[in-house]
Amino acid sequence: MAADSVHSTYPPKLSPAQEQFLVSTIKDWTIEHGLTVRPPVTFVSQEAVSKGVLATNAPVTLFPSPFPKACFEEARAAQKVYNELYARITMDEKWLGEVIEELIDVDDFVAELWKVHLAVQKQGYVQDLSLGLFRSDYMPHTLSGSQTSSLKQVEFNTISSSFGGLSSRVAALHSELLTSPPGHSLSYPAHPLFDGRVPPENTAVETLSAGLAAAHQAYGPSKSTPPLPLCILFVVQEGERNIFDQLALSTRLSSFHKISVFRLITSEILDRTSIAENNPLRPLIYNPPHAENSPFEVTTVYLRSFYAPTDYKSDRDWSARLQLELSAAIKCPTVLNQLSGCKKIQQVLADPNRPDHLSRFVPTEETQEQLRRTFAPQYDLSSNSRGRELALNPERAALHVLKPQREGGGNNIYKDAIPAFLRSMPESDWKGWVLMELIQPPTEASNVVLRSDGEVVSGNVVGELGIFGTILWKSNGEILHNEEGGWLMRTKGKESNEGGVAAGFSSLDSVILY
């Protein structure tokens, strides 16, 4: 099916009564199935939030979004190759260090992370296993006048890759709406795209949990004397609104894999954990608050915090990160693996003049080409470079986005704001940023969004597909586990540049493949 004919009649029109009926059904479904977030403080009072008893629907689309099947399959097929690429970059401290070195003088956050690595290196790493729970994000790039789209990568995430939990629930919601008998409270009006179609299976929860479980198993027996029971530790932000997404993984780990899981906020790491004294193996000990005298040994630390500078409020938080990094627990991710996800690395890999970078890590020409096809043009801003020329020319800059070495959304500079932004900053700092050509997704797509505050908004939208993958490797190059599985569709208003759900720009969606 051609993109324009798909989007021109989609989604099916709803009368006001039908829309109200569908919205109220979806509101109830989200609470019934935990497709929820804690309410924003702008929506209910701080006092109500602090009681910890409230939840509201996650922002969701009323309809699944049409997505080109060939692009979806191409993204899935590339995931294990991408997993291995970022594992191999992480193993290559010399190559990674050379890229990171460039950023250290201009980016304090990157510099602090690198310092943690150096401090651990000084004492020696005691854990040679690393775990990655990754998400590779894409948009279909559709040239005007063309009927087909090519898949382009927006970015690759190596830390706190979120929404696996909630995303599978959106797929379940849309599937239920698509397969209910007509007139049932959960059903859509007819549309040709719906005939026999449901969103593809979404195994994000199973895949991500299996990655964590694989690390837990690979850790082996307790390194403490006497031996302690083992657990996985989720390190989380205080007041996390997206907690139900995380609970989907911890619940799966405890109920299916029979692994003890604890949640710990970053500010309590130094109070609740310690590295066993006089034990050269450096096991990480966790003392649960509800059972002070029954400590656990942490096999795997899963970070859903520590990805942004705001997660490090003081030196104490950097000491906490260092303590985790020094310990024998398997880190998801290590500091080095976190740094491998810098936007700068993605720009260097995509540099058409330096194919040697990609071929250093990806064995065959065929797999290199498989990844290269998904790269959008990216540039550094060095003097006399093409990147600098494009970024400073208002007409050319309008087709680009400028990115710093940050995660979590809300950090980029877009289009015509780029030249003035760069000029407001000393030229010596420009090397902390990369310029990327904007991917052009189909412009005529529409959907309707139910926001967390209950507002319903409809209009032109743009979708971003994420594919989840997990990989467990040894520093000697051995790969113990490499899996692809599960996906995330996020949809934002066409006028909005940014796409983060947690940052409030977009909503959770699923896909109907065409």
Residues annotated catalytic, as ranges: 135, 155, 157, 162, 343, 403, 407-408, 490
502 is in an annotated binding site: yes
> Residue 505: is it exposed, middle or buried by C-beta count within 10 angstroms (0-12/13-18/19+)?
middle
404 is in an annotated binding site: yes
Distance in Å, CB of 60 to ligand ADP, minimum = 17
507 is in an annotated binding site: no
On whether the CB atoms of residues 441 and 71 are closer than 8 A, the answer is no
155 is in an annotated binding site: yes
Q: What single letter denotes the amino acid at residue 422? A: L
Work out whether 438 is an interface residue with ligand ADP (CB under 6 A): yes
**Identity of the residue, 276 or 439, whose beta carbon is nearer to Mg ion in the bound complex:** 439
**Position with the least CB separation from ligand ADP:** 499
Backbone angles phi, psi at 19, to 5 degrees: -65, -45
CA–CA separation, 242 and 251 (whole Å): 15
On whether the CB atoms of residues 300 and 233 are closer than 8 A, the answer is yes
Helix, strand, or coil (residue 263): strand
On whether the CB atoms of residues 508 and 170 are closer than 8 A, the answer is yes
464 binds, among Mg ion, ligand ADP, none (CB under 5 to 8 A by kind): ligand ADP
Work out whether 55 is an interface residue with ligand ADP (CB under 6 A): no
Distance in Å, CB of 17 to ligand ADP, minimum = 34
Work out whether 140 is an interface residue with ligand ADP (CB under 6 A): no
CA–CA separation, 52 and 39 (whole Å): 10
Q: What single letter denotes the amino acid at residue 307? A: Y
Q: What single letter denotes the amino acid at residue 271? A: D
Work out whether 162 is an interface residue with Mg ion (CB under 5 A): no
Distance in Å, CB of 159 to Mg ion, minimum = 8
CA–CA separation, 23 and 30 (whole Å): 11
Distance in Å, CB of 117 to ligand ADP, minimum = 21
CA–CA separation, 310 and 333 (whole Å): 18
On whether the CB atoms of residues 140 and 441 are closer than 8 A, the answer is yes
Distance in Å, CB of 99 to ligand ADP, minimum = 17
**Identity of the residue, 112 or 155, whose beta carbon is nearer to Mg ion in the bound complex:** 155
> Residue 386: is it exposed, middle or buried by C-beta count within 10 angstroms (0-12/13-18/19+)?
middle
Residue span binding ligand ADP (CB under 6 A) among the ranges 279-287, 383-391, 400-408, 470-478: 400-408
89 is in an annotated binding site: no
Which of 85, 99, 401, 508 touches ligand ADP (CB under 6 A)? Answer: 401
Work out whether 154 is an interface residue with ligand ADP (CB under 6 A): yes
CA–CA separation, 38 and 44 (whole Å): 10
Which of 65, 162, 203, 412 touches ligand ADP (CB under 6 A)? Answer: 412
Work out whether 157 is an interface residue with Mg ion (CB under 5 A): yes
Q: Which residues contact 167 (CB under 8 A, 6 or more apart)?
A: 202, 204, 466, 486, 487, 488, 489, 508, 510
Residue span binding ligand ADP (CB under 6 A) among the ranges 166-174, 195-203, 212-220, 398-406: 398-406
372-391 binders of ligand ADP (CB under 6 A): 376
> Residue 444: is it exposed, middle or buried by C-beta count within 10 angstroms (0-12/13-18/19+)?
middle
Distance in Å, CB of 168 to Mg ion, minimum = 19
Which of 66, 132, 199, 500 touches ligand ADP (CB under 6 A)? Answer: 500
CA–CA separation, 421 and 402 (whole Å): 10
Residue span binding ligand ADP (CB under 6 A) among the ranges 223-231, 382-390, 433-441, 445-453: 433-441
On whether the CB atoms of residues 89 and 95 are closer than 8 A, the answer is yes
Total of chain residues touching ligand ADP, rule CB under 6 A: 19
CA–CA separation, 503 and 514 (whole Å): 30
Work out whether 79 is an interface residue with Mg ion (CB under 5 A): no
> Residue 392: is it exposed, middle or buried by C-beta count within 10 angstroms (0-12/13-18/19+)?
middle
Which of 207, 403, 430, 452 touches ligand ADP (CB under 6 A)? Answer: 403
**x/- letters, 340..379, toward ligand ADP (CB under 6 A):** ------------------------------------x---
Work out whether 135 is an interface residue with ligand ADP (CB under 6 A): no
439-458 binders of ligand ADP (CB under 6 A): 439
Helix, strand, or coil (residue 327): coil
CA–CA separation, 346 and 437 (whole Å): 13
Work out whether 407 is an interface residue with Mg ion (CB under 5 A): yes
CA–CA separation, 60 and 491 (whole Å): 9
372 is in an annotated binding site: no
Inter-helix orientation angle 343-350/93-104, to 10°: 110
Tokens of 232: 């996985």
Query: Annotated binding site for ATP, which residues?
Result: 155, 343, 403-412, 414, 436-439, 464, 492, 498
What residues line the site for ligand ADP (CB under 6 A)?
A: 137, 154-155, 376, 401, 403, 406-409, 411-412, 436, 438-439, 464, 498-500
What residues line the site for Mg ion (CB under 5 A)?
A: 155, 157, 407
Query: Annotated binding site for Mg(2+), which residues?
Result: 155, 157, 407
Query: Annotated binding site, which residues?
Result: 135, 155, 157, 159-162, 240-242, 246, 304-307, 343, 403-412, 414, 436-439, 464, 490, 492, 498, 501-502
